[in-house]
Structure 1
Amino acid sequence: MTKSELFVSVVFVADNCVEKLRNLIEEVSPYLDMRYSDYEIVVIDQKSSDATENEMDKLLSTYQSIRYLRLAQKVSNDVALAAGIENAIGDFVVVLNVETDKKELIEKFVEMGRLGTDIVIGTSTKITSVSYRCLRILSNRLLKSIGYTLPSNSTGSFCLSRRAVNAITESGRFYCKLHMRMANTGYSIGALNYDISQDEVKRRTVSQGLAETFHHMVFNSTKPLRWMSAVGILGSGLSLMFSLYSLLINIFHNQVAEGWTTIVVFMSLLFMLLFTMLSFFGEYLARLLDDRSEHKEYNVVFEKNSSVMINENRQNVIDDSVQTNINLSQTGRDK
């Protein structure tokens, strides 16, 4: 098999999954070595409390081109993914889910990227329940209103070309806005649908869907804040109307107790609106504090690299001046 001249980076985020991580690296490393002249495996360890560090020491002395970065503390999934993307140096960066993905996905992701899709999102309908899919219809409409256009039913795996990586990471604090940055790079976005074994699926729940939608909307747009302002104006208008209604009842019927039930219902509604608005305002205040903070989103305790030497007989030249496999993403040495 002729090896591709592309440099492929494969990123794993590990969180107390030592056995699955070891098995996947043992499969992926020879798989990459057969297909690509240059590659790397980047492991981001979420400060796992199992034997991940000891197992990685063994793998580093067995397989080549592995980089192991252990974080100082467990961070959100977006931040961990950002750490992997920032530290990867390949022409294409493939992020795989340690729990569910197989090695064959790498070539499929890279091939779609090479054919011109700079951002390839892995999707599968098996990761969501029926109730989640019903909620997703409303969620998609809300997210599209703020410019979020990534494919639905994402498995968490994706592939980015080098220019897409540069566009995402080139400015600002993108950690909480990783997926929105992916949606708004301007580069082509595609979906790679694949099957996941039912035994390995952790279905997303309605509560997870609500939390994801809330997170994306608050941290990527000010529209929800304006919606809450509109709700506040509406609540104020309803309160004024009810005050006039109470005044008229008092003038014409002189029986104040008659509207007691209505008062209780209306006050409950107003308090519900009030606390809903306060929750949004609190999230935006947290967002402002995070944006103004100078602390790093993640800290690397240490980085370890493979001690196995790569092919010492390889020359640092390419065989042909013109490659037959054109890279339409315009990254790498075979563009």
Structure 2
Amino acid sequence: MARKDAFPSVICAVTNARPVLAERLREISDVLAGTYRFYEIIIVDNASTDGTYALAETLLKSVKNVQYCLLSGRVGESAAVAAGLDRAIGDCIVTMDLLADPPELLPRMIGELREGCEIVYALPGGRLRGANIYDRTARLFLRSVARFNAVNVPEAMSSYRAFTRAVLNFILDSQNFHRTLPLAPAFSGYPYTSIEYERRPEARGSGRVGIGAVLRALDILFSSSVRPLRLVTILAVGMSLFSILYAIYVVLTKIFVENVAPGWTTISLQISVFFLVTSVVIAVMSEYLLQVLEISNRRAPFHLRREMHSSVMDYEQDLNVHAAGENLPRRVSQTVSLFSGGLSSDSLQKDNKSAS
């Protein structure tokens, strides 16, 4: 079967994945090598401590077209995936969970992109039809966030998704994009399609339930929209008006009604409502101020400690990859110089100036 000309970049963020890294990496490589002429697999090691990096050094001698990035410190999953997106040079981008997502679905997802669709979401069947509280809450949250932001997304998304270079350019041009990465493709406004699939048996039932899932959900909610703050503002104004009307009612009652009981209950109620609304406003404003502070500090969401490549990179001798450096996004264009024989955009500019 003739191999296709699409250039997929498959990105996987891993943490302490030594027991399954070799098997899963070879599975992905076999699927891509049998279907595509050029491809790359980007593994982002989220500061593993179980010797994953040492194993990867050995694997890269036999598995082709792998780019391995080791982060200097543990970061959130979205930030780790962002590190991979920052280095992808393919025209079809796929993010997947190395432990849970089957690579056999890759050709079908990439095929949808080649047929004109810009975004493909892979929907886990268990999560799509799940009746437990986690699955129900997750679907309700996605619907709510989609309505807040006026975007259209499936209600059972996972990290397994594919999108085109145009969508990736949109994501990379967004400031602090790692915070809204789960919804970032939808913000681009490009059309999408979805494919239902079943996760690996060993990954089923491993939903991230707990305070961590709640914090990630709140981070996405507050990062993706200002409407929660707008609703709180409306609530605060409404409660203020109610307090004024209630105060007028208390005064009129005092004037026209005899034998009014001591007002301890009324005062306590007013104080409690006031402090409740004040606390909610302060909490939401603090969350937004925290994000403003992080943006103003311009701290990088991730930092690479080490980077290595397979002994053989099929596309490193292809002139189209090197020549495309000037047309890639600012982050991606800088990565061209990482490949042997490649020229960075800065060096190209210096050569042009010297020639002129």
Q: Normalising to structure 2: TM-score of the pair?
A: 0.80
1:116–1:188 contact (8 Å) kept in structure 2: no
**1:157 maps to 2:164:** no
C-alpha distance after superposition, 1:206-243 (max 9, x if no partner): 86665444323311222211111111111111221222
Q: Which residue of 1 aligns with 2:227?
A: 223
- 1:217 is paired with a residue whose SS is helix
User: Separation in 2 of the partners of 1:281 and 1:18?
Assistant: 42
User: Separation in 2 of the partners of 1:138 and 1:101?
Assistant: 22
C-alpha distance after superposition, 1:292-326 (max 9, x if no partner): 222222111111011246599x9989xxxxxxxxx
| Higher relative contact order, chain-length normalized (CA < 8 Å, sep 6+) | 1
User: Separation in 2 of the partners of 1:41 and 1:206?
Assistant: 31
How many correspondences in the alignment? 315
C-alpha distance after superposition, 1:214-273 (max 9, x if no partner): 32331122221111111111111122122223323433234343x544544443333222
User: Separation in 1 of the partners of 2:174 and 2:270?
Assistant: 47
**1:279 maps to 2:283:** yes
User: Separation in 1 of the partners of 2:87 and 2:67?
Assistant: 9
Q: Which residue of 2 aligns with 1:304?
A: 308
**1:294 maps to 2:294:** no
Q: Which residue of 2 aligns with 1:327?
A: none
Give the AA of the match of 1:47.
A
User: Separation in 2 of the partners of 1:143 and 1:13?
Assistant: 25
Q: What is the percent sequence identity of the aligned residues?
A: 25
Which 10-residue stretch deviates more, 173-182 or 300-309? Answer: 173-182
Q: Which residue of 2 aligns with 1:65?
A: 65
The alpha-carbon distance between structure 1 residues 310 and 281, as it changes in their structure 2 partners (threshold 3 A), is: closer
User: Separation in 1 of the partners of 2:61 and 2:94?
Assistant: 23
The alpha-carbon distance between structure 1 residues 231 and 163, as it changes in their structure 2 partners (threshold 3 A), is: same
What 5-or-longer segments of structure 2 have no aligned partner? 321-356
User: Separation in 2 of the partners of 1:5 and 1:70?
Assistant: 29
2:148–2:225 contact (8 Å) kept in structure 1: no
C-alpha distance after superposition, 1:136-183 (max 9, x if no partner): 336513432323422111121111112221222135332223344311
Q: Which residue of 2 aligns with 1:329?
A: none
Which 10-residue stretch deviates more, 16-25 or 262-271? Answer: 262-271
Deviation, 1:47, is 0.5
- 1:44 is paired with a residue whose SS is strand
Q: How does 1:190-205 map to 2 (within 5 A)?
A: 190-201=193-204, 202-205=206-209
Deviation, 1:48, is 0.8
- 2:75 is paired with a residue whose SS is coil
Q: Which residue of 1 aligns with 2:55?
A: 55
User: Separation in 1 of the partners of 2:212 and 2:194?
Assistant: 22
Deviation, 1:197, is 4.0
User: Separation in 1 of the partners of 2:171 and 2:162?
Assistant: 13
Q: How does 1:20-35 map to 2 (within 5 A)?
A: 20-35=20-35
More helix by share: 2
Q: Which residue of 2 aligns with 1:333?
A: none
User: Separation in 1 of the partners of 2:44 and 2:190?
Assistant: 26
Q: Normalising to structure 1: TM-score of the pair?
A: 0.85
1:176–1:219 contact (8 Å) kept in structure 2: yes
The alpha-carbon distance between structure 1 residues 185 and 102, as it changes in their structure 2 partners (threshold 3 A), is: same
Which 10-residue stretch deviates more, 98-107 or 259-268? Answer: 259-268
- 1:232 is paired with a residue whose SS is helix
User: Separation in 2 of the partners of 1:77 and 1:274?
Assistant: 33
User: Separation in 2 of the partners of 1:76 and 1:205?
Assistant: 16
The alpha-carbon distance between structure 1 residues 307 and 9, as it changes in their structure 2 partners (threshold 3 A), is: same
User: Separation in 2 of the partners of 1:205 and 1:263?
Assistant: 41
User: Separation in 1 of the partners of 2:5 and 2:73?
Assistant: 36
Indicate which of 179, 192, 211 corresponds to 1:189: 192
Deviation, 1:68, is 0.5
Deviation, 1:23, is 1.6
1:129–1:203 contact (8 Å) kept in structure 2: no
Give the AA of the match of 1:195.
E
Q: Which residue of 2 aligns with 1:130?
A: 132
What 5-or-longer segments of structure 1 have no aligned partner? 318-335
- The root-mean-square deviation of aligned C-alpha atoms, in Å, is 2.6
Q: Which residue of 2 aligns with 1:321?
A: none
Q: Which residue of 1 aligns with 2:96?
A: 96
User: Separation in 1 of the partners of 2:115 and 2:135?
Assistant: 31
Give the AA of the match of 1:255.
V
1:129–1:204 contact (8 Å) kept in structure 2: no
- 1:203 is paired with a residue whose SS is coil
